[in-house]
Homo-oligomer: A and B are copies of this chain.
Amino acid sequence: MFTDLPEAALRTFRSAVVDPVDFDEFWEATLGSARSLAASRPPVFTPFATALTSVTVTDVAFAGFGGDEVRGWLIAPAGVDVAATVGADGGAQLPAVIEYLGYGGGRGNPLSHLLYASAGFVHFVMDSRGQGSGRGQGAGSTADPHGSGPAFSGVMTRGIADRDSYYYRRLITDAVLAVDVVAALPFVDGSRLGVVGGSQGGALALAVAGLRDDLAAAVVFVPFLSDIMRATTITNENPYAEIAHYLSTQRSRVEEVASTLAYFDGVNFARRASAPGWYSAALMDPVCPPSTVFASYNEYAGPKQMTVWPYNGHEGGAMEDRAASLRVFAEVLRG
């Protein structure tokens, strides 16, 4: 059954999310500081042995927020000799796809991520700090060495008392810096970069699109973290409900939480995006109800396109969304 407004109303829905006056300043400072720390901690590339023949896998450890080590898989077409070319000049440069993960999951086994490299792209899958242990998801390898104030289970309310301490400040910064790492690879063409993800991964891809102006494409499936405060009032499903649970106990903090979240809401990132954006939304999605997806889509400042899946829940288009992303990247990134 449909979980939200009728499609016609979704098309015209306008979010009431406030755009903080110092939003850009906050993120500039945040990213600037993180990049300073990262400058002195170059990424470490370690070949990862598999039985695969068409692609190579490299374990990457790079400095994210606070200079913390963040891990990822670099999966490259077999033709690319990652070990040899890193640090070297010359050679053909390939387009690259940076992917972010859904809530609770980690980068898992690299065998799970063969799609984009099998199509000739350099592919980087960023691990999500402190997550990576959800049943049925990939195992994570990245710590989040930052504590938090009182919080409900999950990461949605860690550090939420303050924009500076909020978990997603760190994760989004990691996501932006992952692109720095990929763009700097000698065998990557930095002008042909795409970001992609579903749910939390979509939220991260959207945030990156709002914080960088060098992307060629942003593909955002059933994104999480859009019109967050509204979301907490229209669904009982986690992870949005984690915030409602927190506020049911931390009763006096509603304004504080809303103030914090405004700096991390996909609606505000959408207002700043310039790269062409591809979204999907699902009309039977109880986790990321479609009005929250349209909340950011309808604000998206770049060229944009939306696929609506009427009979799907939070799986959205699933592999059909992936197939669409492949078509997008083939068209936009391959030139």
**Which residues of chain A have a CB within 8 Å of any CB of chain B?**
1-2, 50-55, 77-78, 104, 106, 108-109, 111-112, 114-115, 117-120, 130-154, 157, 232-236, 241, 244-251, 254, 283-284, 309-313, 315, 317-320, 322-323, 326-327, 329-330
Q: How many copies does the complex hold?
A: 6
B106, B119, B310, B330: the one within 8 Å of A150 (CB):
B106
Given A1-B244, A251-B309, A52 contacting B104 (CB threshold 8 A): no
Interfacial chain B residues near A315, Cβ < 8 Å:
135-136, 248
Q: Point out which of A134, A139, A244, A254 has the most chain B C-beta atoms below 10 A from its C-beta.
A: A139
Check A151 against B138 for contact (C-beta < 8 Å).
no
Chain A to chain B contacts (Cβ below 8 Å), 20 pairs: A1-B235, A1-B236, A51-B119, A51-B330, A109-B319, A109-B322, A130-B151, A138-B319, A139-B251, A142-B149, A142-B150, A143-B149, A145-B146, A145-B147, A153-B153, A233-B283, A244-B284, A247-B311, A248-B313, A251-B317
Given A53-B118, A132-B249, A139-B249, A232 contacting B311 (CB threshold 8 A): yes
B115, B141, B245, B320: the one within 8 Å of A251 (CB):
B320
Check A109 against B150 for contact (C-beta < 8 Å).
no
Check A311 against B248 for contact (C-beta < 8 Å).
yes
A135 CB to nearest chain B CB (Å): 5
A299 CB to nearest chain B CB (Å): 23
